[in-house]
Structure 1
């Protein structure tokens, strides 16, 4: 599908907040997000920067707005399951959130045997300590979704799988809290699956992050976005699986595949990414937004001065 507005947006992609805002607040920049710490509150701005193979490579028009709005969609759809850290939307790319004490593990829920889980299974390994039955096929659906936690690696390193038993044994998370987290993860995945079915999609797997605020578990970071989740088109899955072909995907693998074809997988100098590749990646992000939410994407972020709006919000909090 064509999105004519992207031709205009590509010239004004939002690279991120400056290191210091005019009001004096210091900005901490990650690969994609910029964060302002206001004590009990964080202001999180999602830029248009895109990373692959743990390196920031370029910008993708509308990407930050898409990710922020998809996350807000799901936070709203799941706040009856578990409280989340959202306070309010500041701009189309920026939210104010409650600061939580982050748990030191990520929770990946998998509905299908694919990705790193398939690679481990094929190599004869367990999947985060879970022994799977023999004879399973790539992209096969699990009878019951698996909870496969991973450790949080420092920037530039890869997360490592860890079993629930090891999490408790190493005292990474309190047993009672971990029980709450696992139940919430299953319920969140069920809700996401049900909503995606109505949109003709399969929620294949996804990553959740949790934190503690006032002794209560909260859902934080992002939920069911194209960056944190894998989606397949439901109408073709069965036929593709039966014939041994890969499923039709709704994700950002296009850019990664383009980089691989250019011989780049993280080492050495990355190739320059031409505008036509950036635009195609943007079309896929926008298509993901519309496929996931069932609503038409209309860009709003380019109509405001992002830095000025965030600066004004931060000043009001003093």
Structure 2
């Protein structure tokens, strides 16, 4: 797809962050935009912001953990615009767990898996048949180097990093690779892509706990305060790692350019974080220890902006 004018894009997690930036980028390229999010008021504001730019946009309150809700999103997009050409499975929740993996609250696991993994599965199941019937379209799944490359070992606040988030993002990469293969086998023009935003992002995912649904309420008493973006930045700065945020518009442009170039790996230019991939491959091929695991405030503190970009 090189001509985006008049086409339609659906973006989950569209009320803010990467999702809203994607909607804006698609709209400026001439597309109709359907933003989906579980947060009704921020979603309405995001749609108004796009409309003020003259972008044809609508918002659909959607809970990606609920199959019926995602199915309704697909129907709403078709009812409004008659077709869907780009689907961005972008909705995600960040780290809320504390302590070691075996200490993580089971409710944290369920929430992370339901949003970050089943949310993508639901998006694929609801929209890919539509794209296949059209014979064209693109599915873009948002991943992360934290999991997609390798799990971060020590977290931004100094203790062991949560295992929930990187596990779900590793699953997203595997899902997208499988989707790519399955689509290729059908001979369709529908394409699959994986987005690695990269960098340090100023988004609400750092503070996902503020919007935690009651059905995923924690069952364990926290021992430490909830993570805040300001707290994470302060800790990086105290460790001598200056934080520079990656522009969300730059991330969105990776997607537009990646679709136009039919690029599976939607990533920015090489960074020191890419060395993790090489080190991991060497460890596997050499049957060695996983010495590629990243300590964002230790060995790799100088590269914090590249390697600590997601919770």
What TM-score comes out, normalization by structure 1 length? 0.25
Larger Cα Rg: Structure 1 or Structure 2?
A: 1
TM-score where L is the length of structure 2: 0.25
